[in-house]
Structure 1
Amino acid sequence: MSSKLGVNGTKRALAPPSPSPSNASNASHGTPSKRQKRADAANRIRDHATPTPAAAAAASQSTNFGGEMMTQLTYAVEFLKAKGEPKTFADILNHLTMQHHSEEMQSKFVKYLRRHHQINFLPETEPVPKSVPAWRHGKYEFRAKIPGVVDKTSLLQYLQNKTDASKLDVKDLKDGWPDCDQAIRELESIHKILVVRTKKDGHAKYIWRDQQELFNKVDPEFQVQWQRVKLPAPDDMNKKLISVGIKPASEDPQLKVKETTKGKQKRKPNRTTKKVTNTHMQHLLKDYSHLKRG
């Protein structure tokens, strides 16, 4: 420490230098600087936003579980559709190789099965041991778009019970009866169903019920002549029929009556009476032409 001579010649100790701001901020018990405060705030935000390893693992496991369940559920639907008969939950687990999964995962998968729109759950009809959990009971079967139609008899019965003349889509029929093509050909050959086929491949597309007793065989030569007749374009069909004195079936008679009635209606004349307000001048508006001298 440096010193200087006082007034009476004695040495006087100088005061120690004041600490700099950087030194003060680095003191263990000093007040932190603004830079240090900003750094601490940033660290707190980062620590709060970054999940802990346990939370990250739990989130990843939940995502993987949901994705795996959706995939396994698709395989389960295909399995039940291919078998065509009810299967137990154990059968489904063995097919999907999920029999070694935890009880918690299997019980959650049961909920997915029972809520799926293409799966029917069939409860147990016989007593089950109490040692078996309730969620393992029952069987599962594939739910087709047209349920119960799996042969020619059930197909004819389904068409008979229809309350309208709408078509039956073969694509929907194959959802529960994949190999129905041969049965469709047999029923069509004996005139029990009407079939519309694709022009390119000749595959059955739509089906209606037919009446076998109304079928009349047409001579092949007449069929050829019929096909040779050239029909007018759809836009000119009505004009052609009217020109030969035939009433088109597409013409609605009610519309014609409405048009005729509408044409006969006449517009009513406007007979509103105007109110006279200048009654005091009516004597000036009289006709005096008959008093005119010749």
Structure 2
Amino acid sequence: MSAYLSSTQTSVAGSDARTNVIYALGRLKEKFPDRISWNELVEYVLPQYRRTEEQIMYFRTFLSKNPKADYDTETDTYRYRPEHNIASGDDLLKYLQGQESAMGINVRELKDTWPDVESAINKLEAQHKLLVVRNRKDNHPRTVWADDPTLHVPLDQEFKDIWSQIALPSEEDTIRELRRMNHKSTGEPARTDVVAKPKTKKKATRRGQKVTNTHMQGLFRDYSDKRPQGR
């Protein structure tokens, strides 16, 4: 069998065993999240009139080694194994709410087994259950995060009108006020009239006199004035 796994032998049905696995994975993806029995997969991929026991054995060997095929030994069934086990809006919300770092999820990773994921995202976004970042070109959702609908508070139109009627100061008035408070506005060039502080001149060290044991200075007291006279 090891020789077969490293070769490109074809089945009796005339197709490569690896190609049969691709057909099987396509079928599993169509039925996801449901499981498919082994016998049903064999019937779907290998026609009975062109099927042999050897071909079935090789087909099962390749299928079991594929990381996209999830096999249940108790029920002898297979199921497609996507990158994320998400196939509905409830699954998506549960996954996002369980994240510890709130990283969100790329929508492209969900389309593997959820073709109509965008319509579900649009619905959840309208319900304030998802935060969505969209592409600029086509407005398709790109990344989603969990949202909390209880934080969405509708505002009365009267309040919106009052808010929109509040006049903002002009750019000139803003710059003038910042200068009055001795603040520099963003983008304003640096002032050139600032007087530079004079540099303090370091005291030059005396040369010509060798100083030894400088690390011992200050540790001893000078008793030369107490020396006995005549010595």
* Match of residue 42 from structure 2: 93
1:117 aligns with one of 41, 48, 67: 67
CA distances 1:240-261 after superposition (whole Å, capped 9, x unpaired) = xx7349xxxxxxxxxxxxxxxx
Q: Tell me the residue number matched to 1:191.
A: 128
Tell me what 1:182 maps to: 119
Q: Corresponding residue for 1:205?
A: 142
Aligned counterparts, 1:129-144, within 5 A: 138-144=76-82
Aligned to 1:65: 10
Contact 1:145 1:176 in 2 (8 A): no
What is the distance in 2 between the residues matched to 1:223 and 1:75? 60
Q: Measure how far apart 1:101 and its partner are.
A: 2.2
For residues 13-28 of structure 1, what are the structure 2 equivalents within 5 Å?
Answer: none
The one of 243, 249, 261 aligned to 2:184? 243
Aligned counterparts of 1:87 and 1:72: Cα–Cα separation in 2: 15
| Inter-CA distance 223–114: structure 2 relative to 1 (3 Å threshold) | farther
Q: CA, structure 1 residues 89+98, in 2 after alignment: closer, same or farther (shift >3 Å)?
A: farther
Secondary structure (helix, strand or coil) at the match of 2:9 reads helix
CA contact 1:119–1:142 (8 Å) conserved in 2: yes
Structure 1 residues 274 and 165, CA gap change in structure 2 (3 angstroms): same
Kindly state the Cα deviation for residue 189 of structure 1 after the two structures are TM-superposed: 0.3
Task: Spell out, residue by residue over 1:69-93, the C-alpha distance to the aligned partner (whole angstroms, 9 max, x if none).
Answer: 1211111111110122211222112
Match of 2:57 in 1: 107
Residue 166 of structure 1 deviates from its aligned partner by 0.9
Q: Quick one: structure 1 residues 140 and 221, their matched pair in 2 at CA, closer, same or farther if it must change by over 3 Å?
A: farther
Higher helix proportion: 1
| DSSP 3-state at the match of 1:194 | strand
- Structure-2 change in CA distance of 1:154 and 1:63 (3 Å): closer
1:100-135 residue CA offsets vs partner (Å, 9 max, x unmatched):
32212211211111111111001225xxxxxxxxxx
User: Partner letter of residue 210 of structure 1?
Assistant: D
Aligned residues: 162
Query: Which amino acid in structure 2 is aligned with residue 105 of structure 1?
Result: Q
Alignment equivalent of 1:78, drawn from 26, 29, 47: 26
1:194, distance to aligned residue in structure 2 (A): 0.4
TM-score for both structures, normalised by structure 2: 0.60
TM-score norm. by structure 1 comes to: 0.48
**RMSD of Structure 2 on Structure 1 (CA):** 3.2
Work out the CA distance in 1 between the residues paired with 2:154 and 2:31: 42
| Aligned 8 A contact 1:193 1:208 in 2 | yes
Residue 55 of structure 1 corresponds to which residue in structure 2?
A: none
Change (3 A) 1:116 1:216: same
Q: Quick one: percent identity of the two aligned structures?
A: 30
Asked if residue 161 in structure 1 is aligned to residue 111 in structure 2, the reply is: no
Q: Does 1:146 align with 2:84?
A: yes
User: Contact 2:96–2:104 (CA<8 Å) still a contact in 1?
Assistant: no
Separation in 2, partners of 1:221, 1:116:
61
Unaligned runs of at least 5 residues, structure 1: 1-57, 126-137, 226-241, 246-268, 276-294
Asked if 1 retains the 8 angstrom alpha-carbon contact of 2:96 and 2:102, the reply is no
TM-superposed CA distance for 1:160, in Å, is 0.7
Amino acid at match of 2:65: R
Pairing 1:242-281 to 2, within 5 Å after superposition: 243-244=184-185
